[in-house]
């Protein structure tokens, strides 16, 4: 049971826009910024979005992030076949000893 | 380029310990945290803890308290994660990741190591 809640799956056709949601609480998303990681099949996770909506250099502007209250979203526009991957949201959690919490991950399928 | 390279796969028996290494290059090792995250086959990501590489201070997820130890050797830019009293449920890929922060509310991981498969089996 992950602390952050994501839909287990999402899908879209090439060129479409898809969004993936991430729901948390006041101790994590409500208090801290959200990051998104992309994990291509058989590889290590890679930073996609940090601090809610910042893209590291090299990440296409087709990827965007937003946050409102205790929820966040990742949007992918102009969907491409190479976007098929698992996507994870994460945030620092201020409860107990603190620490990073992840969503359970969303498997994106490009139809 | 900034890179983290981890040690190779391990097979351990239940009750044993495993120590995974993570060698950093391309940046000043002592200027950033190192975090450890694991992923069981077909499952999601699970954060295990972090280490301030400069001071050696650590913070562990409650689930791993008492079983995990994170250390470093700054002379060779290498971090280590040791997990003891292994059980079958610890079979997973273990990743190290550099931690970056901005202020007190923003903390992210970049880059990640390639992962180390630890198999616990009798």
Residues of A in contact with B112 (CB under 8 A): 44-46
Residues of B in contact with A30 (CB under 8 A): none
Contact A102 B45 (CB under 8 A): yes
Residue A52: band (very low, low, confident or very high) from pLDDT cuts 50, 70, 90:
very high
Residue B92: band (very low, low, confident or very high) from pLDDT cuts 50, 70, 90:
very high
Distance from CA of B35 to the nearest CA of A (A): 10
Whether A81 and A14 have beta carbons less than 8 Å apart is answered as yes
Could you report the per-residue pLDDT of A4-18, keeping only the tens digit for each? 999 999 999 999 999
Could you report the per-residue pLDDT of A91-101, keeping only the tens digit for each? 999 987 789 99
* pLDDT above 90 for A22: yes
For residue A42, what are the CA distances in angstroms to A39, A105, B110? 8, 15, 18
What does the H/E/C string look like for chain B?
CCEEEECCCEEECCCCCEEEEEEEECCCHHHCEEEEEEECCCCCCEEEEEEECCCCCEEECHHHCCCEEEEEEHHHCEEEEEECCCCHHHCEEEEEEEEEEECCCEEEEEEECCCEEEEECC
Could you report the per-residue pLDDT of B17-51, keeping only the tens digit for each? 999 999 999 999 999 999 999 999 999 999 999 99
**What is the rounded (10 degree) CA torsion for A98, B10, B98, A96?**
0
Contact B108 A35 (CB under 8 A): yes
Contact residues of B toward A, CB < 8 A: 35, 37, 44-47, 49-50, 59-62, 95, 97, 100, 102, 105-115
Whether the link from the prior residue into A65 is cis, omega within 30° of 0, is no
For residue A91, what are the CA distances in angstroms to A1, A33, A103, B24, B54? 16, 6, 9, 24, 23
Greater pLDDT, A27 or A98: A27
Give residue A98's pLDDT: 84
Question: Does the CB of A35 have a partner CB in chain B at under 8 Å?
Answer: yes
CA-nearest residue to B61 within chain A is: A99
Q: Terminal CA-to-CA distance of chain B, rounded, Å?
A: 40
Contact A46 B112 (CB under 8 A): yes
Separation CA B1–CA B65 (nearest Å)? 34
Give residue B102's pLDDT: 85
pLDDT cut 70: percent of chain B above it: 100
Residues of B in contact with A45 (CB under 8 A): 37, 45, 95, 97, 109, 112
Considering only CB atoms, B47 lies closest to which of A46, A96, A101, namely A101
Residue B104: band (very low, low, confident or very high) from pLDDT cuts 50, 70, 90:
confident
Interface test with chain B among A56, A99, A102, by most B beta carbons within 10 Å: A99
Average pLDDT over every residue of A48-59: 97
What does the H/E/C string look like for chain A?
CCCEECCCEEEECCCCCEEEEEECCCCCCCCCCEEEEEECCCCCCEEEEECCCECCCCCCCCEEEEEECCEEEEEECCCCHHHCEEEEEEEEECCCCCEEEEECCEEEEEC
Contact A100 B35 (CB under 8 A): yes
* pLDDT above 80 for A65: yes
């Amino acid at each position: 049971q992950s602390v952050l809640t994501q839909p287990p799956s999402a899908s879209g056709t090439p060129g479409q826009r898809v969004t993936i949601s991430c729901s948390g609480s006041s101790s994590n998303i409500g208090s801290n910024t959200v990051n998104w990681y992309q994990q291509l099949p058989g590889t290590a996770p890679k930073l996609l979005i940090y601090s809610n909506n910042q893209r590291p250099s090299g990440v296409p502007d087709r990827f965007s992030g937003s946050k409102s209250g205790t929820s966040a979203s990742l949007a992918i526009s102009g969907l491409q076949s190479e976007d098929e991957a698992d996507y994870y949201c994460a945030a620092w959690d201020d409860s107990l000893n603190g620490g990073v919490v992840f969503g359970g991950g969303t498997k994106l399928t490009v139809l | 380029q900034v890179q983290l390279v981890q040690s190779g796969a391990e097979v351990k028996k239940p009750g044993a310990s495993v120590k995974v290494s993570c060698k950093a290059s391309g940046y000043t090792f002592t200027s950033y945290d190192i975090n450890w995250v694991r992923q069981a086959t077909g499952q999601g990501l699970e954060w295990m803890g972090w280490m301030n590489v400069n001071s050696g201070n650590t913070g562990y997820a409650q689930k791993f308290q008492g079983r995990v130890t994170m250390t470093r050797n700054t002379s060779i830019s290498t971090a280590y994660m040791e997990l003891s009293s292994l059980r079958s449920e610890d079979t997973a890929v273990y990743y190290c990741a550099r931690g970056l922060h901005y202020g007190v509310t923003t903390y992210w991981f970049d880059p990640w190591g390639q992962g180390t498969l630890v198999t616990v089996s009798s």
